[in-house]
Structure 1
């Protein structure tokens, strides 16, 4: 499993509540939902390196 970097993220209450509901609707944690959304955005904008893509396929 790849190492994960920890960092603090500040969100306003309304945004957090919306993410919390969306995550629950998709049976994810808020952290998992944020990671999913970031990964999707990176893929759509072709920002992931080839190394990351090959690691995901394993």
Structure 2
């Protein structure tokens, strides 16, 4: 996991309340929701690479 850095954020109260509601709906903390939204915006803009998908799990299906 990458290093986390603290950063003070000034944000409009209405935007913060909307983010909190969204975080509650997604069962995330407000901090995790803000980070998720920022990461997705960066990915869509081509500013960061998408997260690597974990390798597929092979199953042994015997009949």
Q: TM-score, normalised by structure 2?
A: 0.74
Match for residue 27 of structure 1?
Answer: 27
Could you list the runs of 4 or more consecutive aligned residues of structure 1 that deviate by over 6 angstroms after TM superposition? Answer: none
Structure 1 gaps of 5+ residues are none
- Deviation digits for residues 15-57 of structure 1, max 9, x if unmatched? 11100000000001110000000110111011015xxx5xx43
Q: Is the radius of gyration larger for structure 1 or structure 2?
A: 2
Q: TM-score, normalised by structure 1?
A: 0.79
